[in-house]
Amino acid sequence: MNVDSIRDGVVIDHITAGCGMKLYRLLGLDALDVPVAMITNAVSAKRGRKDIIKVDADIPVDFDVIGYVDPGATVNIIRNGELVEKKRIEMPETLVNVLRCKNPRCISSCEQELEQVFKLTDREKKEYRCAWCEVKGDM
Amino acid sequence: MKRSIIDVPDLTPEELNALMDTAEDIIAHPDDYSDACRRKKLATLFFEPSTRTRLSFEAAMYELGGNVLSVTGAGTSSAAKGESVADTAKTVSCYADIIAMRHPKEGAALVAARSASVPVINAGDGGHCHPTQTLADLLTIRREKGRLGNLTVGLCGDLKFGRTVHSLINAMSRYEGLNFVLISPEELKLPSYVKNDALKKKGIPYRQTTDLMEVIGDLDILYMTRVQRERFFNEEDYLRLRDSYILTPEKLKKARADLSVMHPLPRVNEISVAVDDDPRACYFKQVLNGKYMRMALILMLLELKKGGERA
């Protein structure tokens, strides 16, 4: 399979196999009017299989979303065909407007313009809790 | 710097001890504090029904020589017009020096604290936190037992939904030599996240049982809770579980002579009225201790000492 190399854009690499489509949706890549390549189950020397996303445009990337869905993925920023930045994404301490609190009794369900803030409470379990009501968050 | 109290962990163990010391001093020398908050105003914003907590805050402020501005019920405030909690807090900050707020939504007190320019005390935010109840509980235990460590603490009733129980376990888990006995029906057991965070991770011993009588003789403290009707979808389940544990003078015969029986109140029927005359019943002392701890907390947050001096 051949996917052209990109000149200005973003490559999200080392995505755990199977997580690529989830990231694709959560990053809103389906709404972009630019070439996006989604490669699933690519061969990886370290992991066996991995997913890769290539975006042929210099778009802002929400590292928090990547860190929440798949910590350990890497983001490569390409400019003029050169790799200018390579970033390994860690699990963020705080997520702002990534998750939505599902607790109907939470103040965030009714307070005007209140951000949806989640704090990392257990790194091992990848557990985030709402900063307002402390109920566990999930997608 | 302005500081608010949303939950008990907002206070360090040293601050907790200092608050209890202040409360003890107020109890011993009430006149020394009768003018401590002169010209200061407490706004009590209660968007949910409450008898004891609101009156306790108001009595606390009056006994410190301060004044009280009061809002009770969302229907009589701008909240009924759709005003946000953040805007209410900003507005009330223009009138009062400190705010005590109860709100049905969980996290509302934190939102208020972020927007207010004066200290905010969480007087209960839905089923989430009720820190001043825990302060009352801690002072009661310290006054009754002379210590907060080396105790066998039995918690009985609704351990699943009871926010006072979760908060008390979290607060007490900071002290040494504790042993918890969790007494509840299967359906109302302590949630695993509370067990994990407050007990297992800290290596604090605990045991779980459904039989109060099997353990009552081992306890230094028996903290009873109410099974709350509003937590059940099914009236039949509520009625069955409500009557799981009713403490009577007969049952107390098997308990130690120095047991302390506590309850955050209000009770329904889980403690027989006949127990009220037993010297081991402490639940009305808890109510009084709550007022003293609220006085101490108001002083701390307003950075005032006895006689109205700056802390």
- Classify residue B1: in a domain, yes or no: no
Q: Is residue B10 less than 8 Å (CB to CB) from chain A?
A: no
For chain B, list the strands marked E by DSSP: 41-46, 67-72, 98-103, 120-125, 152-156, 179-183, 206-209, 221-224, 260-262
Q: Are residues B43 and B124 in the same domain?
A: yes
What are the tokens at B85? 């909690």
List, in sequence order, every residue forming a beta bridge with B179; answer none if it has no partner.
B152
Q: What is the pLDDT of residue B77?
A: 66
Q: Are residues B279 and B294 in the same domain?
A: no
Cα-based torsion angle of the residue sequence B25, B146, B170, B197 in order, rounded to the nearest 10 degrees: 150
Q: Are residues B120 and B209 in the same domain?
A: no
Confidence at A1, pLDDT banded by 50, 70, 90 = very low
What tens digit of pLDDT does each residue of A55-107 get? 999 888 899 999 999 999 999 999 998 999 999 999 999 999 999 999 999 99
pTM comes to: 0.90
Q: What CATH number does the domain containing B184 carry?
A: 3.40.50.1370
* Domain parsing of chain A, residue ranges: 9-88, 94-130
Active site residues of B: 52-53, 81, 102, 130
Nearest CA in chain B to A130: B107
Q: At what angle do helices B283-301 and B13-28 cross, to 10 degrees?
A: 110
Q: Are residues B80 and B178 in the same domain?
A: no
Q: Are residues B173 and B107 in the same domain?
A: no
For B104-204, list the strands marked E by DSSP: 120-125, 152-156, 179-183
Task: Give B126's contacts in chain A (Cβ within 8 Å).
Answer: 105, 133
What tens digit of pLDDT does each residue of B89-138 get? 999 999 999 999 999 999 999 999 999 999 999 999 988 999 999 999 99
Q: Are residues B251 and B188 in the same domain?
A: yes
Q: Are residues B182 and B79 in the same domain?
A: no
Q: Are residues B206 and B294 in the same domain?
A: no
Q: What is the pLDDT of residue A122?
A: 87
Letter for the amino acid at B289?
N
Domain count, chain B: 2
What are the tokens at B295? 């006085």
Tell me the CATH number of domain A9-88, given options 3.30.70.140, 2.40.50.140, 1.10.10.10, 3.40.47.10.
Answer: 3.30.70.140
The answer to whether B182 and B199 have CB atoms below 8 angstroms apart is no
What tens digit of pLDDT does each residue of B280-308 get? 999 999 999 999 999 999 999 999 988 77
The answer to whether B102 and B50 have CB atoms below 8 angstroms apart is yes
Q: Which domain holds residue B209?
A: 132-287
Query: How many whole angstroms from its chain centre is CA B183?
Result: 20
Alpha-carbon span A24 to A17, nearest angstrom: 13
Q: Are residues B136 and B283 in the same domain?
A: yes
What tens digit of pLDDT does each residue of A7-43 get? 899 999 999 999 999 999 999 999 999 999 999 999 9
Q: Are residues B278 and B153 in the same domain?
A: yes
- Classify residue B3: in a domain, yes or no: no
The answer to whether the CB atoms of A106 and B106 lie below 8 A apart is yes
- Classify residue B113: in a domain, yes or no: yes
The answer to whether the CB atoms of B111 and A131 lie below 8 A apart is no
- Classify residue B74: in a domain, yes or no: yes
Q: Are residues B199 and B183 in the same domain?
A: yes
Nearest CA in chain A to B6: A132
Q: How many CB atoms lie within 10 A of CB B169?
A: 25
A132: nearest CB among B84, B110, B193: B110
The answer to whether the CB atoms of A133 and B86 lie below 8 A apart is no
- Classify residue B63: in a domain, yes or no: yes
- H/E element holding A79? strand A74-79
The answer to whether the CB atoms of A111 and B104 lie below 8 A apart is no
Q: How many CB atoms lie within 10 A of CB B92?
A: 24
Residues of chain B with pLDDT under 50: none
Q: Is residue A102 less than 8 Å (CB to CB) from chain B?
A: no
Q: Are residues B267 and B149 in the same domain?
A: yes
